[in-house]
Amino acid sequence: MSWYAVLLYIHICSVIISIGPYFILFPLLAKIRSAPFERIADYLEPFRITVRLTKHAGHVLVATGILLTWLTAWTWKTSWIVMTVLIMVLSLYFIARAFSPIMRQLKAPHDNREVLVAKLRKSLLGYVVITLAMMWFMVAKPGLW
């Protein structure tokens, strides 16, 4: 087996780990909305774990992506690579601001749980769309220029 095949396999696995866990969080939103305040932290824990897991999978994803680019004929000026990197940088900013502040607010006593859960759902959907857009560029490899 070649190094390229091993790196590509690791790269694909890290994509799955970076995106997949977010889909299991959608059912938790209903539980957060209706749970007694004392149980909120229990339902927010999977969000915290998912963000941490996907952050580390993202490190592997970036490292293997750099190595795969270096090992192949693709260049850093290739349109799909530029777009993927651009979206990735935006996603880092998004994830840093999307989940943690809302989860901190939900853990504290408040009167606007519906609004916060709606924001959390919107953030969750936004991040899934962003990561799926990155995945589309990596799989379809469109030649935009």
Q: What are the residue ranges spanned by the domains of the chain?
A: 3-140
Query: What are the helix and strand counts (H, E) for the chain?
Result: 6, 0
Residue 73 is given by DSSP the state S
- Structure tokens belonging to residue 31: 């539980």
- Spatial distance between the Cα atoms of 133 and 88, rounded to a whole number of angstroms: 10
* 8-state DSSP, 77: T
Distance CA 129, CA 145 (A): 23
Q: How many CB atoms lie within 10 A of CB 47?
A: 23
Q: Output the tens digit of pLDDT for each of the chain's 145 residues.
A: 798 999 999 999 999 998 999 999 999 999 999 999 999 999 999 988 998 898 899 899 999 999 999 999 899 999 999 999 999 888 888 877 888 888 889 888 878 899 999 999 999 999 899 999 999 999 999 998 8
pTM here is 0.84
| Dihedral, 75, 92, 58, 31 alpha carbons, nearest 10 | -150
